[in-house]
Amino acid sequence: MNDDLFTFLIAGKAGQGTKKAGIVAANFFARFKRNVFQMNDYPSLIRGGHNFSIVSTSTQKIYSHYMKADLAVLLDQRSIKIHQNHLTEHGLLVYDDAIKKQEHGIGIPITSLAKKYSTPDLIVGIAGIATLVAAIACDRSILDTIIQKEYQRNVQDNLGYAHEIYDQVFEKTPKKFILRNGTDTDPILTGAETIGLGVSAAGLDLFFAYPMTPSTPILHFLSLQGKKLGVRTIQPENEIAVANMAIGATFTGARSMVGTSGGGFCLMQEAFSLAGMAEAPVLFFLGQRPGPSTGVPTYTEQGELLHSLYPGQGEFPRIVASPGSIEEAFYLSAELLNLAWHFQTPVILLSEKHLTESSMNVNLQPDKISEVKPLQHNNGNYQRYRKTDSGISPLLFPPSKEMIKWTSYEHDENGYTTEEAEAITQMHIKRRTKQESLVQYLKENIKTVNEYGSGEPFLFTFGSTTMTVREAVLVSGLQCSVIQLIYLQPFPSWHLQKYSGHKAIIIEQNSTGQLEQLLREKCGIHPITSIRQFDGRPFDPELLAEKLKKVTA
C-alpha cells in the first residue's frame, strides 16, 4: 500500500464547480511534484443533483483514485449522506455549516459566506480549494496564486471568499496534513486530451463528431486546441453524416477520425461497412458508457467489447484496440490512425468514460510518434483496387489525370461495379489477404498485450479497468501479473495461448463477462474466478484488492 497516499474529495451540486475544484486540486498537488489521479462522478444534468470529484495523490506513480478520502469537502446535505463514510481513518470532513451539525468533521459557513459575492452558487467550489490549501498548511499566498490563475472571472470576489474560508479552516485544523514532495513533473491530462494529442501527432487532419458522452470531450478539446495541432473539427447533423463525411474526406487524402458512443456508433455501422468495402482509412473512437441504449450516459462500463468486434455487415479487415491507461491512449491512438492508413480499413479505438474524462500525470514523448505514409501509387495506369500480394492497393488522391474510383459496390480492380462470380471471389480474397497481412503485421511489429509484474495468478483485463487493476495490485501487495489486452481484434491469441492452464482471474466492467468469453473460447483460458462490476462506477482499488486477496488466499 502506498504510504503517502492522500485523497481529496469534493462533492456538491452540478454547477457548484466540484469538477473544476478537482482539477485545480490535482494541479495543486502537482506543485509538490506528486503524481495524481483525478476522477469525476456526475449524473446527466446541468445544475443540481450530485457531483463529486476525487483526486488521489502520491509520490509514487498512481493509476486510480481511491474512494476513501483524507480530506472531504461536502457542499450539501446529499453529499453528507453519500460520502460521510468515505473517509480514511484520520480523514477530515469539512462541510457547509448550513447543513445541520455533524458528529464528526467541522462545519464552515461555505454557502453563507458565498452570499456576499456576485455568483454565490458558482463560487462555492473555491471553498474546496481554500480548505485544501489550508489543511495542507500552505501559505495563503499560494492560494492567491492558484485563484488568480484558475478562477479569473471576478477574481477579487474569488480571492476575498477564498481568504475567508482559508482563515476559518486554518484556524480550526492547523497543519492537519503534510505532503511529501515527489519528483514527477509530468503534465496532468485527461484521456480525451492524450487521445487528441496522439492523433494529431500521427497526422490527423479532420475530426468529425456529433456530441455524445463520453466522446464529447475529445470534440471539445480539438475544437479549442485543434487548430494549433493541425486538426479541425466538424459537427454535422447526425452520426450518419459524421461517418460518411469522414470517409469522403479520406478520399482526398485527409486523415479523418470520428468520435462517438454506443447509439451513435450503431448509426455509423453502415458507413463502417462502406469503409471496409471502399478501403477507406477512418479511425472510429467508440467511448463506452453503461448500456444498453441510452443507458446511464455519464458513467462508465465495458459492455460493448463483443459488439465492437464485427460492426458493419460483411467481411473485411477489422482492427479494435483499447488503451489501458491515459498515457497509453496517446501512443495507441496514433498507432491506430497509422494502422488505418497502412491497411486502408476502418479501425476502432475502444475506450470508456473512465479514461476520457479522468486525468493523471502522463509522460508523453511526441517525437516517438511518426506519421506512417501509406502505400502510394507512383506511376503508370492507376487501379484503385489493384491486387497485390499483401492485399493492400496503392493510394492516389485527386486531382489526378488518372481515374480514382472508390465504391460501395463489389468491384473490379478499377473500381467499376461487378456482379461476376469470379470477380466477386477475387475481391473477397483480396480483402481476406489484407486481413492476413494485418495479423502478420501485428504479430511482428505491434505490442498487442501488456504484461505487468510476473508470475501467477494472471489478472486479465482491458481498457481503463487496467489502471484500477494495477493500482489494486499495488494496494494488495500481491505477487501476480496483470495481463492487459491492448488489441481485441484481431485477437492476439498467438500471444495469449501460453497462459492457458495457468491460474487466471478475469476482471472487467460488464455483467456477462465478455473478455472472459473471448479468453475462454479463443485461448482456452479458464479463470479460477472472475470479478465484474457493472454499476457504472469504476472499481475502487481497495475493494478490488480485498477481493483479489480473498480469491487468491
Partner 1 sequence: MDQDFTTPVENTWCPGCGNFGILNAFRKAIPKLEKQGINPKHLIISAGIGCHGKIFDYVPLSGMYSLHGRSIATVQGIKLGNPNLKVLTFAGDGDAFGEGISHMIFAAKRNADITVIVHNNGTYALTTGQFSPTSQKGFKGPSLPSGNIEEPLNPLSLMLEAGASFVARGYAGRIDHLANLMVEAVLHEGFSYIDVLQPSVVFTNTYKEFNASVEMIEKPAVRLEDAVQLAKRFDKIPIGVFYNVSKPIYHQELYGEWNPVVNRLSHAERIRSIALYLSDHLQE
Binding mask 388-427 for a copy of itself (x = CB under 8 A): -------------------xxxx-------xx-xx-xx--
Residue 263 found at the interface with ligand TPP (CB under 6 A): yes
Taking the least distance from each CB to ligand SF4, the nearer of 48 and 187 is: 48
Pick the piece of the chain touching ligand TPP (CB under 6 A) from 151-159, 208-216, 273-281, 303-311.
208-216
Q: What is 115-167 written as a DSSP string?
A: TTSS-HHHHTHHHHHHHHHHHTT--HHHHHHHHHHH--TTHHHHHHHHHHHHH
| 525: nearest Cα among 551, 553, 477, 491 | 491
Among 134, 212, 442, 488, binds ligand TPP (CB under 6 A): 212
CB-based contact 395:374 (threshold 8 Å): yes
Contacts with ligand SF4 by CB under 6 A: the residue count is 2
| 120: nearest Cα among 9, 15, 11 | 15
Among 40, 357, 510, 548, binds a copy of itself (CB under 8 A): 510
Is the bond leading into 109 cis (omega within 30 degrees of zero)?
Answer: no
Q: How far is the CB of 213 from ligand SF4 (least distance, A)?
A: 14
Taking the least distance from each CB to a copy of itself, the nearer of 277 and 496 is: 277
Among 157, 164, 205, 471, binds partner 1 (CB under 8 A): 205
Q: What is the 3-state secondary structure (H, E, C) of 374-396?
A: CCECCCCCCCCCCCCCCCCCCEC
Taking the least distance from each CB to a copy of itself, the nearer of 141 and 293 is: 293
Q: How far is the CB of 14 from partner 1 (least distance, A)?
A: 8
CB-based contact 152:126 (threshold 8 Å): no
Residue 86 found at the interface with a copy of itself (CB under 8 A): no
Q: How far is the CB of 251 from a copy of itself (least distance, A)?
A: 15
Among 39, 249, 337, 485, binds partner 1 (CB under 8 A): 249
Residues in 180-219 that interact with a copy of itself by CB under 8 A: none
Record the cell numbers describing residue 482, joined without a space: 496483470
Q: How far is the CB of 186 from a copy of itself (least distance, A)?
A: 32
Binding mask 268-307 for a copy of itself (x = CB under 8 A): -xx-xxx-xxx---------x-xxxxxxx-xx-x-xx-xx
CB-based contact 363:227 (threshold 8 Å): no
Q: How far is the CB of 295 from a copy of itself (least distance, A)?
A: 5
Residues in 314-373 that interact with partner 1 by CB under 8 A: 361, 364, 366-367, 369-371
Strands 48-58 and 6-14: antiparallel
Taking the least distance from each CB to ligand SF4, the nearer of 177 and 416 is: 416
Taking the least distance from each CB to ligand SF4, the nearer of 47 and 228 is: 47
Binding mask 207-236 for partner 1 (x = CB under 8 A): -xxxxxx--x--xx--xxx--xxx-xxxxx
Residues in 41-100 that interact with partner 1 by CB under 8 A: 43-49
Residue 403 found at the interface with partner 1 (CB under 8 A): yes
Beta bridge partners of 417: 411
Among 15, 107, 160, 453, binds partner 1 (CB under 8 A): 15
Residue 264 found at the interface with ligand TPP (CB under 6 A): yes
Contacts with partner 1 by CB under 8 A: the residue count is 91
CA–CA dist 418, 411 (Å, integer)? 5
Residue 188 found at the interface with partner 1 (CB under 8 A): yes
Taking the least distance from each CB to ligand TPP, the nearer of 198 and 264 is: 264
Which element (helix H / strand E) includes 317? none
Q: In what order do the strands lie in the sheet with 188-190?
A: 106-108, 87-96, 69-74, 6-14, 48-58, 35-41, 359-361, 188-190
Binding mask 274-293 for partner 1 (x = CB under 8 A): x---x--------------x
Among 8, 18, 47, 82, binds ligand SF4 (CB under 6 A): 47
Residues in 35-54 that interact with a copy of itself by CB under 8 A: 43-44
| 469: nearest Cα among 535, 553, 536, 530 | 530
Grid look-up 445541520 returns 100
Q: How far is the CB of 125 from ligand SF4 (least distance, A)?
A: 18
Q: How far is the CB of 290 from ligand SF4 (least distance, A)?
A: 22
Strands 487-489 and 319-321: antiparallel
Q: What is 77-116 written as a DSSP string?
A: HHHHHHHTT-EEEEEEEEEETTSPPPSSSEEE-HHHHHTT
| 65: nearest Cα among 33, 35, 101, 32 | 35
Q: How far is the CB of 323 from partner 1 (least distance, A)?
A: 17
Residue 46 found at the interface with ligand SF4 (CB under 6 A): yes
Give the number of other Cβ atoms within 10 Å of residue 182's Cβ: 20
CA–CA dist 485, 456 (Å, integer)? 17
Contacts with ligand TPP by CB under 6 A: the residue count is 9
CA–CA dist 63, 337 (Å, integer)? 26
Q: How far is the CB of 339 from ligand TPP (least distance, A)?
A: 27
CB-based contact 348:463 (threshold 8 Å): no
Taking the least distance from each CB to ligand TPP, the nearer of 82 and 266 is: 266
CA–CA dist 283, 336 (Å, integer)? 7
Q: What is 170-203 written as a DSSP string?
A: HHHSTT----------PPEEEHHHHHHHHHHHTT
Residue 115 found at the interface with ligand SF4 (CB under 6 A): no
CA–CA dist 199, 418 (Å, integer)? 36
CB-based contact 276:317 (threshold 8 Å): yes
Residues that bind ligand SF4 (CB under 6 A): 46-47
Residues that bind a copy of itself (CB under 8 A): 43-44, 240, 261-267, 269-270, 272-274, 276-278, 288, 290-296, 298-299, 301, 303-304, 306-307, 309-316, 407-410, 418-419, 421-422, 424-425, 428-429, 431-432, 435, 510-512, 514, 521-522, 534-537
Residues that bind ligand TPP (CB under 6 A): 210-212, 239, 263-264, 267, 270, 294
